[in-house]
Structure 1
Amino acid sequence: MASTSQTPRGPEPALPSVPPDFDRLLTRIGYLNYAWTNTESLLIHVLAGLLDAARPSAKETATIIHLTLNTTRARIDLIERLAKREGNPLPKEAIDRILKLTHDMKRLSGIRNQLNHSLYAFDANQGIMRSIQMKIADRKSGLKYGQEKPLGRESVEELDEVLSQIRAANAALWSVILDYDLPA
């Protein structure tokens, strides 16, 4: 009979107490990522419509292109270029709506990137929350990085506003998809 031995483990380390506002902030960032990914995936349907929705393979081709382009900016640039080309399969009204949406999504993408590519920290003793930008900037005489921003309850409210704008973009994309019978 084979014996199994288990190394006894000590108690799990206690997680630090997280202030409620910090917990809400981190939860909102999670919601923001979910909402953004969901919204960005709708670009597949817009892309399929711009490729030629009447072709049976348009959605599959659009999905392959979407997954091959690995940045939001590249996906939006492609959609804008296809929308602006001559002989577009969609009516002008649809193109105008798509271009407004891509403009809005570029702005929201910048905000999302700033929030998503930050570290978040709190001082449990003083109750201070802050974000630390994980972006490097070359300056004439050196580098600048690690810019810190204090966070408070208003930061959660700002995130709620950004989430609201992403949800509005999602609804507007669905409206274009349904109004112009793009592959869903």
Structure 2
Amino acid sequence: MSAADAPTMADEFQTFLALMGRLNYTWTNTESLLIHMIAGLADVTKEVATVIFLTLNTSRARIDLVERLAKLDAQKPDLREEVLSLTRDMHKTLKLKNKYNHCIYSFDNEGRNASTILMRISDQKHKIEYGKSSPINAREITLVRETIQKTQTLNKSLWEFFKQRKFPV
């Protein structure tokens, strides 16, 4: 491949943006499966679980609820461990999704060399840190692709879990 045929940084950023759309779609589709998890763990109808799910306004709150329901004494230990394993996988996806959805993007003076600037404060012992920057490069694109694949696999695992545990679907 000649230098003229090599992907440009603009192409790389466009690929990244398209992958972010896929990551968000894949995450949202998988997160909605928490409705079935809530229904099964709380022993409520899917309709009630949907209202609970929609009342909680963050992914973190929804996952926290599912984990807390799983940790109740009434739950069997094997069910608890299986649920917590699934939610651990969800946390991994959520972390990367949030990284890119809660940042700003910066470029050099020519509109190239895309990077992210995290919009989060990190409290240290005697100071705060913010504005951590990291480049959007082939390594990050690969990480997003891998996360999409892992989320799709998680989605299938959740459906199998619901079938095995006879959770409302």
What TM-score does the superposition give when structure 2 sets the normalisation length? 0.84
| 1:97 CA displacement | 1.7
Check if 1:48 corresponds to 2:33.
no
Shift of 1:127: 3.4
156-165 or 140-149: bigger deviation: 140-149
Post-superposition Cα deviations, 1:53-81, rounded to whole Å, max 9, x if no partner, equal 6xxxx111111111111122221121112
Separation in 2 of the partners of 1:140 and 1:96?
35
1:1-16 correspondence runs (5 A)? none
Deviations 1:128-158 (A, max 9, x none): 1211111123445554322211221222111
Q: Which residue of 1 aligns with 2:168?
A: 183
Which is richer in helix? 2
State how 1:144-159 maps to structure 2 within 5 Å: 144-159=129-144
Determine the structure 1 residue equivalent to 2:159: 174
- Partners of 1:119 and 1:133 within 8 A in 2: yes
Which runs of no fewer than 5 residues in structure 1 stay unpaired?
A: 1-16
Query: Which consecutive unaligned segments of at least 5 residues does structure 2 have?
Result: 1-7
Counterpart in the other structure of 1:59? 46
**Alignment RMSD (CA, Å):** 2.2
Q: Distance in 2 between matches of 1:86 and 1:94?
A: 11
Distance 1:179 1:27 in 2: 35
- Could you list the runs of 4 or more consecutive aligned residues of structure 1 that deviate by over 6 angstroms after TM superposition? none
Aligned to 1:25: 16
Partners of 2:121 and 2:59 lie apart in 1 by: 20
Would the alpha carbon gap of residues 60 and 142 (structure 1) be closer, same or farther in structure 2, given more than 3 Å must change? same
Alignment of 1:9-158 (within 5 A): 19-52=10-43, 58-88=45-75, 92-123=77-108, 125=110, 127-139=112-124, 142-158=127-143
Corresponding pairs, count? 162
Deviation, structure 1 residue 40:
0.5
Specify the structure having the higher radius of gyration (Cα).
1
Q: Which 10-residue stretch deviates more, 137-146 or 168-177?
A: 137-146
Separation in 2, partners of 1:169, 1:85: 23
Provide the C-alpha distance between the structure 1 equivalents of 2:41 and 2:148, rounded to a whole number of angstroms.
27
